[in-house]
Each structure stands twice: as structure tokens, then as C-alpha cells.
Structure 1
Amino acid sequence: MLRSIIFYTTLLLGIASTAAAFTQPQSFTPTRRNSFLALSTATATSDADIQEAKALLCRAAETKLENPDRVLDALESLEKNCKKKHKENPAAFSKDIMDNISGEWRLIFTTGTKERQKKSGGRVNYFPLKAIQTFDATVEPKVIENGIYAWNLPLLRFSGDFDFDERRRKLEFDFDLIELFGLIKIKLGRKDVAKIGASTGLGSANNEKLADNGRRAFFDWISADENIATARGGGGGLALWKRVEEE
């Protein structure tokens, strides 16, 4: 009975849970100075591209008025250049993410999973519902929550724990508790949660496959700062979140 309630609640909600290479002529033998200048130029270019992408994404998060195609282009640009920055210093880059990730984040934009993109026939626009993802990296085990809200009432909320692989920027998580309307709490195994998510559109079918193989769902994290967070989900979708300011 309770699982039927969960199924129809999620079904009604109808949501989806998202150095430029420098080559030299063959006859040119780069000196250490030339190599340093090329690296410096590449780094500066990446930094500028990151800031440009973040500026557009911040505007999109605040207004939801930026063209969705431009938002997606900015997400892809940010992902590409953040990968380069991560390779330069994985430990420092990952520490910066973990230092900023704790808190509440509202989902602003998602492309949806690859499966959903195929079904919709194109890109997904701004997310219409109030979806809040919460992370707490200051405790052990680290805590993750994902919920859909009507004003401040959680209609449906999943919670569990997560780990972060600094070397791969991979955040792996399990949901094992479901809460309905802030009143009913149901403890379920991760396979059950993955199946519910996949059957209702809340999660990716890929998460169900991972659970069947004893693996955890994941995000490939891109960035997190004082304003926005970005990641690519295990189902292949890109997502943009805006930090929820404390009242």
C-alpha cells in the first residue's frame, strides 16, 4: 500500500531527478620559456572561459530568462574547462568543491537523462517545480537529500549518504529513506528506491542498473561556489543549481 502511494505521488509530480591544445610547427623546438608562456596562456584562457560561463549561469539562476540553448552551451563550456583545471591540481580543485557543497541547492535547469532527452526530442528547459537538493559534507557519513516542495512543505523527499572521489570528481550516493508530505517515512533498500525512481521518472534507469550490479548512483561534479553548483548525472544529463540563501 505504501509503495503504491509512493508510486502515484511521484508519477503525479512528473519530474526527472542532471587547455586549448597548443601545437608547434615541426621545425620549431619550444624552449622552456615558450612552453611556460603557452601553458600560462592556456591557463588564462581556461580561467576566462570559466568566469564567462559562470556569469551567464548565475544570471540564468537568478532570472530564468537566459536562452536555454545558451545555458546548455555555458554548462558544456564550464564542464570542459573545469576538467582542465582539475587535471592541473586535483586535490585543490576537489577541496574547493567540498568546501562549498554543503547547504541547500535549488534545481534551476536540467537537460534530463539521455533517455528523457530522446523521449522529449530535444533539450529540457528550466525546471518548473521547487526541487531542493541538500548536501552536508561536514559530518560522517556525509548526508544527501533530494526533495520536491510545495512552498516549504516537502511533498516527496529522498535521503541517504554520499562519498566524494577527489581523483575523479565523482560524488557517489545511496538513497534509503523516503518521506511523503513531511509525515510518512519509509525505509527502503537502494534497489527499491532506484526502481521507484526509474519507474516514475524521478531517477535514471541507469541508477537501477547500477543498483542491480551493487554500485551506487553518482554525479560527475563540475563546480560549486557561493552562488551556483553544476554537475553531470549518471544518466548523462547536465544540471544547474542555485544556492538557497538562509533566511
Structure 2
Amino acid sequence: MARFFLCCLAVMTSAITVVAFSAPSSMRPRRKIISPSSSSSSSSAPLLSSSSSTTTTTTTASSDAEIREANELLRRAARTKLENPDRVLDALSSLERNCKLKFGEDPVAFGRDIMDNISGEWRLIFTTGTRERQERSGGRVNYFPLKAIQKFDVATTPMIIENGIYGPWDVPLLRFTGDFDYDARRRKVEFDFDMIEILGLLKVRLGRKDAAKIGGGLGLGSANNEKLADMGRRAFFDWISADDEIATARGGGGGLALWKRVVD
């Protein structure tokens, strides 16, 4: 029985590390406004403004089109798990790149839109794992084989995060519960798990560092999470997008992930 619990714990830890991937938020620099100082500079200013405006419009239109294209492929992947994994990875990378551009236009609005969409249950569909895991696997990526559900509740204080692996008849083999904070200006979630539930029966209270140490001790957790725990800091990840059907993110371990909303 102890060996079974250890195996379950190892599987669950691999799911937890999905949220241990990060990428620094990037902001587009503001265009410098040049004030006319002479008749010649004044005559050239409209040309500069027109050119800049046209470029911005073209870039925005291109970005919007690429976001739509990536989302369409990711929604199909979430529904069927039949899309080529390499294409899914390309779509995630494209979505991340273009969402950064959209985020740079209005960080607060973009971050709040994600906040408005994340409440509920999400099933993990696809993950690249952490960078260290990618190196060990030779860069192979694929769909997540188990039923892993992540839950967010933004209506409570503190806000609640839950991460679980489910077996037959939706029995929770392992389920971690904790709280999280969300920084809308950076799309950043910081979280701690403080409770583990085994088979829906046994609940064990965890210390601040325990979840990270469990993963590291089994060789499955993110080394970055352990370092953060040692420094007294919380694990984190950055949302890329979240809507009524799918969500995407990257975090401290360098991996990308795709979730599908669970609909009753």
C-alpha cells in the first residue's frame, strides 16, 4: 500500500510541475512622439505618423489573425487529441508570442479578462513539461495521458487552487489544495499547496515547502520550485490566455501547457 501511495504521489507531482513553467512578461515600448519644431519638421510629421499608424494597424491585424488561427487549432486539439503534437506546440508558441503583443497594448484589461475566465475546472490536455524534463526526453512532447484536473476559485478569500489526478469513476487518487494570488498586470499566479488528499479519504496538512520537496525527492518536481521554496517564495506561472473553452500558460520550469474547460 505504501508503494502504491508513493507511485500515486509521483504521478501527481508530475502534474503539479505543469504549473511550474515561466516566461518573463514583455511589454511593447511606447512610440516616441516627436513634436514639430519647424515648418520642415511639421510637414514631415504627418508622413511619419501615417507610416507608423499603418504599420501598427498591419501588425495588430496580423497578430489578431495568428491568435485566431492558433486558438482554432488548440481548441481542436483539446476536443479530440488528434492534432499533431508538434503543431500543437507551434500553436502554443505562436499564441504566446502574439498574446504578449496584445498584452502590451493594454496590460490591465488583458490581465482582467484572464481573471474573469479562470474560475472553474480545467482538464490538462497537453504539456511540454519543464525545460529539464524536455532535455531528458530529447525534446519529445505529447498529450497528457491521465485525467488531471486543475480548479481555480476567484470568488473566495483567499482564492483557492486545486490540482488532482483522477482514476476510474472519477476517484481522486491524489488531490492537492492551496491558495493563490493573481497579479493582473503581469498575468502572474503565485501559489502554495498546503493540503494533500489521498483516494478522497486521507487528508494530510503540508508545510510551505513540502509540495516542492516531495516533487524534488521523487525526481519529478521542478528544481526551480524547490529553489523558490528554499528562498521562502511561492511557486508561480504566467497565464498566456483563458477563454470559455481553453486556457494556456507558461511558468517557472519553462514548460507550456494547454487545458480544456470542464463542462458539466
TM-score by length of 1: 0.90
Percent of pairs with identical residues: 67
Q: Which structure has the larger Rg over C-alpha atoms?
A: 2
Aligned to 1:34: 51
Name the CA distance, whole Å, in 1 between partners of 2:219 and 2:263.
28
Q: Secondary structure at the match of 1:107?
A: strand
Which blocks of at least 5 consecutive residues in structure 1 are unaligned? Answer: 22-27
Residues 28 and 105 in structure 2, CA contact (< 8 A), matched pair in contact too: no
Is the CA contact 1:15–1:201 (under 8 Å) kept in the aligned structure 2? no
Match of 2:194 among 173, 176, 184: 176
Say which of 98, 114, 121 aligns to 2:115.
98
Aligned residue identity for 2:98: N
- Alpha carbons of structure 1 residues 221 and 13: separation in structure 2 relative to 1, 3 Å: closer
The structure showing larger relative contact order (alpha-carbon pairs under 8 Å, at least 6 residues apart) is 2
Name the amino acid aligned to 2:10: L
- 1:97-176 matches, within 5 Å, as 97-151=114-168, 152-176=170-194
1:215 CA displacement: 0.7
User: Is the contact made by 2:177 and 2:195 (CA closer than 8 Å) also made in structure 1?
Assistant: yes
Cα RMSD between the aligned structures? 2.3
Per-residue deviation, 1:147: 0.4
> CA offset at residue 7 of structure 1?
3.4
Instruction: Count matched residues.
Output: 239
Q: Tell me, yes or no, if the aligned pair for 2:161 and 2:178 is still in contact at 8 Å.
A: yes
What CA distance in whole angstroms lies between the structure 1 residues aligned with 2:238 and 2:219?
A: 20
Provide runs of 4+ in structure 1 moved above 6 Å: none
2:257 alignment partner, SS class: strand
1:71 counterpart = 2:88: yes
- Cα distance in structure 1, aligned partners of 2:98 and 2:11: 38
| Distance of 2:13 and 2:186 partners within structure 1 | 32
Q: Structure 2 stretches of 5 or more lacking a match?
A: 19-26, 30-43
Aligned partner (choices 219, 225, 243) of residue 261 of structure 2: 243
- Alpha-carbon distance between aligned partners in 2 of 1:208 and 1:43, rounded to the nearest angstrom: 39
